[in-house]
Structure 1
Amino acid sequence: MENNIESLKNIKNIQCLLGSVLIALGSGTVYCYSYYNSQLLEKCNIPVDQISQLSLSLSIGSALLGLVVGPMIDNWGCNVMSYLGGLETFLGYYLILFNYKKGPDGSTTFICLALTMIGMGSICGFYSCIKCVTYNFPKSRGFAGSIPVSCYALSSLVFSTLFKCTVKDDIEKVFQIFMTSCSLMILIGGYMIFMRDYELLNMQSDDSLGNTQINKFDKPSVPASVSNINVTKPVAIKNKSKRNESFSNKLQGSLAFWGAGKIRETPESVIDNIKIPLLENTKNTCFNDLTGKDRRESNQSIVIPTSNSSPLLMQNRSASQKNVGKSDLIGNEDVEDFDLNNSNHESISPINETVHVKPTKTQLIQHSSTRGLSLYSTLTSFKFISYYLVLAVLQGIGQTYIYSVGFLVPLIFAGEDLSTVDATPASVQSIQVSLIAICSFMGRLLSGPVSDWLVLRKAQRKWNIIVASFLLCLGSYIISHFHSQTLAGKIHYLSTCSCILAFGFGIVFGTYPAIMVDAFGTELFSSLWGIVTTGGLVTVKIFSKLLSIDLDKDNCEALGNKCVLRTFSTTYCLALIGLATTGCMIFIKYQKRKERISKYHYSHLY
């Protein structure tokens, strides 16, 4: 079952991936804002000083409200939030269509509210499908996550191409299509996605394994009264002999002895603490890793673990536990229920055996010390803060270029006689938008499988971020330093920059979801993803402010692309800092992993 759990031959897996694609395509229409914004401003007669409020409203809905949407997904579930996203998308486009039909009488306030609802509806569905695919495909998170992430970026290109071939400049029909198709896609996709119940699968696997093992034993059958017992608390086997002298009075009754306050096992603690006085509880009922002969020879009482044990402990003990049947308890008159609260701790002795519980080498490599922490502990950890800052810088660089490419195109046409050239600023801008959409899609799609390949090679996914930082650094340098005497050469350089920056930007968002899940787990993924993407709001605002100052220069047209030298020199330096920071994080992770593996080999020698 475990080998085929992620197979694409499984109809449920295909259903989940198709549902995520539908949601991503329906949610990605937030990037189609530039397709209809000029007509909306003109038809509704919106003042120039209020134009910035529209884009700000969309940014608030699609980014800042992620702080609210993330915890809602973690608490309410992915399906419910997808339905909410579809409803918000429908209402948002309906309000825009209603005000667009009213023309100058339309309300700017309602339009801003509608854009906020569209942005929030977008992330409600998108964050939900990302969480589902990364949770359902733990061994190929990069590939699974890259599918909806890439479709989210491709959505604007798909719809803009569709509109150019069908409705063309009829913006009213554009809003009608958005209102019906996008909301339906998110709703249908929300019905198709799901989160796999691993606990149920493990129980079914254990039941199947237990039945197989019982059939293999040549022993009397187990009475139904015993086989149906649901053991939910520790069982103590009384010892009629004297307590072991080695049972330390100092250890007895201590919090560490009983496991109180312990959050989870780590590979380091398992290796360093080979002798385990008292095993923790386990989720599935199991028995002590001792044969019947060992129990007869032992003069100590034994505590049998039952529920909520560390998965790491039980996974490494599973091989020997499979050979112990339930019939081992038959006829033992000393078995009784043990109440930890009412016990004076005198009837229980620690296991005197040396239990070698070691994680596998793969577990050591994939271990993360920040999984399972509380939200506050995660947000204040050095790892999360580093991820937040790096993503804020890289996201800000990519989005600033995407938003500002329309201002860069006129700079390369400055001083040119438009009557003597074939290209026009509008056509070049359209080409840049298409190149950005395609390259961003390719970056998001390819980065997922590549990051999975890196993990299989025992490397880190963060190498993708190194490549993305380098590309954003290279693109920032070229955009402000290229020089050409011909218009064709300038267009070529600009197109090259669009491809490089968009591809690097796509790699960032195609890799980061899997990195976050690997580092912090899936339980708080939506909350953390909603928080970590808010950093881009600040950096985009800063970079856009620098760009506006550059474009206000009196000799901007004469300078051409040199006019934005200061803005993209700043992004160039910050991309280098992001590259260096990621490199340091890779080195720190490598050193810790190396230390764990050395402990692993040392523990095998002794």
Structure 2
Amino acid sequence: MNLRVIKLTLSFIAALLISSVCGTQYLFSAYSTTLAERLNFSSIQINTIGSAANYGVYLGKPIFGYIADNFGGRRPFFAAFIIFIGYFCLAMTYEGNLRPSFLLCAFYMFLAGMASAAGLMSSLVIVAKNITSFRGISLGAPIALSGLSAAIYSEINSLWFKNDNYHFLLFLAISTGLCIFIGSWFLVVVPPSINQDTTVVTLEEGNSSSCSTKQNDKFEDTPLLQNKINEEIDIGGWDFINNIDAKLLAITMFFFSGAGLMYINNVGTIIESLYSSHSSSTLPPIYKLQNTHVFILSIFSCLGRLSIGFISDMARLLFKIPRSFFFILSGVWIFLAQLLILFYVDDLDKLLIVTIFVGVGFGNLYSITPIIVSEWFGTKRFGSNWGMIACIPAFGGQLFNLLFGYNNDQHKRNECTGTDFHAPFILYKE
């Protein structure tokens, strides 16, 4: 195994390690209701805190995508300190050691989101530049692990901490910080190998013998694959912003991701509302149900992210199906979830299918979109381009979260519970 292969392997493993702790913002529902009760936050306030993490992730992606494009992938080491500070301060606030201000809590979550964006964007940019074939699989792996991180931490919370949110948040701060810090030292762009001696074989007509000649010319000595890569499409900056395809991609992401984020951030609140109307008298504690749904969301998000890369690669190779088909499919999953919760869900047992649909759709969306961006607009400015598209969900998520919070507060004033409380997509049902 040569030195280049070792560097490529270590860089890819580092990307996976960092990505595995860069999806913890989706864990918010596991402790959001307890945080709200302990600090006396309203639904709108707790939704603002959850949205702040999303803002940090999505608004940070253009910045850190640009940094990764231009300065390399070792830069996210500072993100280790930022994510530690974010979760550590939230833990101190929960315990009463810091001022219980919802704006400060939102700021702490914003810091954690920014650090997650730095780690994930650096990982994706390095993988995109190091691995140019089968992008669906190579980019799908770190994206899938970022979706799996919430499942890992929710399971740890259930098994070890058992609703001890203070120590769980401390563990979250330390473990995420360490993983990003360690991985950042190995996350590098590995230059393509250039063979010094290239053999060119020519077959003369009517002659089965061949002759080989050594090419010393620098241009001819460059591998044909590398020449092809260097001629790849390169759209960025204002050309990207004014591009019709980029605009359509951004608008669609606004609605798809907004509806998905609303459910992800508020599934804990939905469970709390349905809990009192459940017919069974042997229900587990609410926090266990919340952790279970966060775990299932994360697992199916991971499966959706990982599978769509492989499936889209094979579909494109064998059946010439464009990747945009799978982008639309991800929205179909999320839309079906909204219909189910409106017309089908009336107790906790039926909520599970909604969680699965949102997990699959959200995972599909966040795996296929960066792959489309890298192929439609090139990898040279992939970090900046994907960063701009990836910040759109912050606005969609905020809009839908505010609608959810307003609707929830209105129903609380009217003392509505159970099936009287309808959350996602169409929020105002009398």
Q: Could you say whether these structures have the same fold, taking a TM-score greater than 0.5 normalized by the shorter chain as the test?
A: yes
Give the CA deviation at 1:40: 5.2
Instruction: Indicate the residue corresponding to 1:436 in structure 2.
Output: 297
Does the CA-based 8 Å contact 2:147-2:302 persist in structure 1? yes
The residue type equivalent to 2:176 in the other structure is: C
Give the CA deviation at 1:168: 3.6
Instruction: Indicate the residue corresponding to 1:14 in structure 2.
Output: 9
Give the CA deviation at 1:112: 4.1
- Assess, with a 3 A threshold, how the Cα gap between structure 1 residues 139 and 161 changes in structure 2: closer, same or farther: same
Instruction: Indicate the residue corresponding to 1:186 in structure 2.
Output: 180
Q: Please, which moves more after superposition, 541-550 or 179-188?
A: 541-550
1:517 aligns with 2:374: yes
Instruction: Indicate the residue corresponding to 2:71 in structure 1.
Output: 76
Instruction: Indicate the residue corresponding to 2:198 in structure 1.
Output: 209
1:136 aligns with 2:136: no
Instruction: Indicate the residue corresponding to 1:279 in structure 2.
Output: none
The residue type equivalent to 1:28 in the other structure is: G
Does the CA-based 8 Å contact 1:543-1:567 persist in structure 2? no
The residue type equivalent to 2:420 in the other structure is: G
Instruction: Indicate the residue corresponding to 1:400 in structure 2.
Output: 262
Does the CA-based 8 Å contact 1:481-1:565 persist in structure 2? no
**Quick one: distance in 2 between partners of 1:380 and 1:147?**
31
**Quick one: distance in 2 between partners of 1:549 and 1:440?**
27
**Quick one: distance in 1 between partners of 2:298 and 2:69?**
30
TM-score by length of 1: 0.60
1:560 aligns with 2:420: yes
Aligned pairs (5 A) from 1:239-318 = 284-285=218-219
1:55 aligns with 2:50: yes
Does the CA-based 8 Å contact 1:412-1:560 persist in structure 2? no
**Quick one: distance in 2 between partners of 1:524 and 1:70?**
8
Instruction: Indicate the residue corresponding to 2:312 in structure 1.
Output: 451
Instruction: Indicate the residue corresponding to 1:480 in structure 2.
Output: 342
1:31 aligns with 2:44: no
Give the CA deviation at 1:24: 1.1
**Quick one: distance in 1 between partners of 2:407 and 2:187?**
46
Give the CA deviation at 1:534: 2.0
- Which of 159, 163, 170 is the matching residue for 1:165? 159
Cα shift readout 1:281-326 (whole Å, capped 9, x = no counterpart):
xxx4459xxxxxxxxxxxxxxxxxxx9xxx89977xxxxxxxxxxx
The residue type equivalent to 2:257 in the other structure is: Q
Does the CA-based 8 Å contact 1:479-1:568 persist in structure 2? no
Give the CA deviation at 1:384: 0.6
Does the CA-based 8 Å contact 2:59-2:391 persist in structure 1? yes
- Which of 146, 151, 157 is the matching residue for 1:152? 146
**Quick one: distance in 1 between partners of 2:11 and 2:338?**
38
Cα shift readout 1:444-480 (whole Å, capped 9, x = no counterpart):
1111111111221233122222322222222222211
**Quick one: distance in 1 between partners of 2:282 and 2:3?**
58
**Quick one: distance in 1 between partners of 2:213 and 2:290?**
75
Does the CA-based 8 Å contact 1:133-1:145 persist in structure 2? yes
The residue type equivalent to 1:165 in the other structure is: L
1:372 aligns with 2:234: yes
- Assess, with a 3 A threshold, how the Cα gap between structure 1 residues 529 and 448 changes in structure 2: closer, same or farther: same
- Assess, with a 3 A threshold, how the Cα gap between structure 1 residues 173 and 187 changes in structure 2: closer, same or farther: same
- Assess, with a 3 A threshold, how the Cα gap between structure 1 residues 40 and 523 changes in structure 2: closer, same or farther: same
- Assess, with a 3 A threshold, how the Cα gap between structure 1 residues 138 and 406 changes in structure 2: closer, same or farther: same
**Quick one: distance in 2 between partners of 1:112 and 1:505?**
23
SS of corresponding position for 2:188: coil
Give the CA deviation at 1:117: 2.0
The residue type equivalent to 1:400 in the other structure is: M
1:541 aligns with 2:403: no
SS of corresponding position for 2:234: coil
Does the CA-based 8 Å contact 1:134-1:514 persist in structure 2? no
SS of corresponding position for 1:499: helix
Cα shift readout 1:161-194 (whole Å, capped 9, x = no counterpart):
2233334444443343233321121122122222
**Quick one: distance in 2 between partners of 1:50 and 1:76?**
38
- Assess, with a 3 A threshold, how the Cα gap between structure 1 residues 105 and 72 changes in structure 2: closer, same or farther: same
Aligned pairs (5 A) from 1:217-232 = none
- Find runs of 4+ consecutive structure 1 residues off by over 6 angstroms: 210-213, 311-315
**Quick one: distance in 1 between partners of 2:271 and 2:34?**
21
- Assess, with a 3 A threshold, how the Cα gap between structure 1 residues 407 and 87 changes in structure 2: closer, same or farther: closer
The residue type equivalent to 1:93 in the other structure is: Y
Would you tell me which structure has more helix in proportion to its own residues?
A: 2
- Assess, with a 3 A threshold, how the Cα gap between structure 1 residues 446 and 438 changes in structure 2: closer, same or farther: same
- Assess, with a 3 A threshold, how the Cα gap between structure 1 residues 169 and 471 changes in structure 2: closer, same or farther: closer
- Assess, with a 3 A threshold, how the Cα gap between structure 1 residues 108 and 406 changes in structure 2: closer, same or farther: closer
Give the CA deviation at 1:372: 1.3
- 5+ residue gaps, structure 1, are 231-283, 288-306, 316-362, 485-489, 570-606
**Quick one: distance in 1 between partners of 2:227 and 2:128?**
25
- Assess, with a 3 A threshold, how the Cα gap between structure 1 residues 88 and 212 changes in structure 2: closer, same or farther: farther
Does the CA-based 8 Å contact 1:95-1:110 persist in structure 2? no
- Assess, with a 3 A threshold, how the Cα gap between structure 1 residues 451 and 13 changes in structure 2: closer, same or farther: farther
The residue type equivalent to 2:261 in the other structure is: Q
- Assess, with a 3 A threshold, how the Cα gap between structure 1 residues 62 and 312 changes in structure 2: closer, same or farther: closer
Give the CA deviation at 1:41: 5.7
Aligned-residue identity in percent: 21
Give the CA deviation at 1:415: 4.8
- 5+ residue gaps, structure 2, are 203-210
**Quick one: distance in 1 between partners of 2:8 and 2:155?**
30
The residue type equivalent to 1:502 in the other structure is: G
